[in-house]
Chains A and B, each alone.
Chain A
Amino acid sequence: MRRLFDDELAELDADFTEMGMLVSGVIRRAVDAFLERDAAAAQQIIDEDHKINEREIALEKKTFEMIALYQPVTSDLREIVTILKAVSDLERAGDHARNIAHSTIKMGQKQKVSELEQLMAKMGQMTTQTVEDVITAYVNKDDHEARSLADVDRQLDHLNHQVRSESYKDMRQDATFETGASIYLNVAQDLSRIGDYVTNVCEWIIYLRSGQIVELNSASEGTES
């Protein structure tokens, strides 16, 4: 039996995926802007952040309506709950992209530190890739992929650690590097947090498929905000 609910759920699903692609694009642009010290691109990201927030609110409103009007159960309910929870994770990941844009502007044209730049490029690439992958995993409702993506989060935490020790080392050698170092630290922390939110979305994909609430990377570093 074809249900009106199925049409609305398909629409909700498509809207969520679209928001995922939007957030993923913003993260990629934020990383590129930081690596290229492109303040104008960074400013554009900051100016457009409200679009993500508005989408989050629209999706939340839609899920509330669907719960009230259709009283979904079983996998229908799980799909709606997944979107309701994951949409907040996406929005917060978007906030960290905005933080990176702020850091980019603050960084101005300060001296690049090549070891740190390399680490940041690696982290940035890994983060943008994992955000794209988690959206794909959601679209395919692929819980195996979701489980394997949690591993990327661990690698990001490890890189974040490396950035931290490298920055502290450089600061000890050159006290004037303090501001620059703190920006590297913040951006690495933002990327690592995006990885955490990706892991949350992975957990919701697993819930969607299995009904089990799992904790991936419970011992993960950098889960404190």
Chain B
Amino acid sequence: MTTKEILTTQDLHLYYGSNEALKGINLSFEEKGITALIGPSGCGKSTYLRTLNRMNDLIPGVTITGTAEFKGEDLYAPNADTVQIRKEIGMVFQQPNPFPFSIYDNVIYGLRIAGERDKEKLDAVVEKSLRQAAVWDEVKDHLHESALALSGGQQQRVCIARVLAVSPEIILLDEPTSALDPVSSSQIEATLLNLRQDYTIIIVTHNLQQASRIADRTAFFMNGELVEVDQTKNIFMNPANKQTEDYISGRFG
């Protein structure tokens, strides 16, 4: 199988004021599949994830150097369109964050902003996205009820559907199950495993078993540096780096 790189960062540095949070990250992502970013708190993995769809733009005092390219286009070019970037590179957060309106309106939010008014098309997108997010059967009879009435796990899958509705190529997830119970977490994992055939998925997780269960590749970050990236089974069976081994064996972190 030939795969090509869809997202690449080279010598990516990020500073919060004078504090260097990312110290030159060189990392590429191939199309499709799941990559897990792991590492102790404060290692830079979430910061790195957020640079991939320019979420850090919103934080004052942030400086970014180096390159981040999506399909060869510079994400940080002066004329880059952040709305378009975030459509193509969607993000799901730790806390499920549905908007305070109906499930239906949550899912089509992005399309509505983009001016889509065709009811039939919107209906189709809602069903397809909710099916892809593996929550359709549970919510199909309540589409016009508030998304806030759903369980945490259902809310999170609706949030995934909301990202899917705008047809992204990459889905970023920042600890998407850390606020969920084990059953909801495993539903999210099953959802991601279905999506990995069609999307490039990058997930930050503190749950190492989650990384080992679902990720094709795992990248270990520490102190703002990328220590090691490899096939997940190599990382968990026989990592090349001692720090990686110590972290995932629970010797620190």
Contacts from A to B (Cβ < 8 Å):
1, 3, 5, 71-78, 211
Contacts and interface: CB of A to CB of B under 8 A. Distances in A.
A208 to B, nearest CB: 11
A74 B250 contact: no
A75 B247 CA distance: 12
Interface string B223-253: 0000000000000111100000100111110
B251 A1 contact: yes
Interface of B: 208-209, 212, 236-239, 245, 248-252
17 contacts: A1-B250, A1-B252, A3-B251, A72-B249, A73-B208, A73-B212, A73-B236, A73-B248, A73-B249, A74-B237, A74-B238, A74-B239, A74-B248, A74-B249, A75-B249, A211-B237, A211-B238
B236 A74 contact: yes
Contacts of A1: 250-252
Contacts, number: 29
Contact of A5 (B209, B239, B250): B250
Nearest to B253: A1
Contacts of A211: 237-238
Given A1-B252, A5-B250, A211-B237, A75 B209 contact: no
Given A211-B237, A211-B238, A76 B209 contact: no
A12 to B, nearest CB: 16
The 5 lowest CB-CB distance pairs between A and B, nearest first, are A211-B238, A73-B236, A74-B245, A1-B252, A76-B249
Contacts of A72: 249
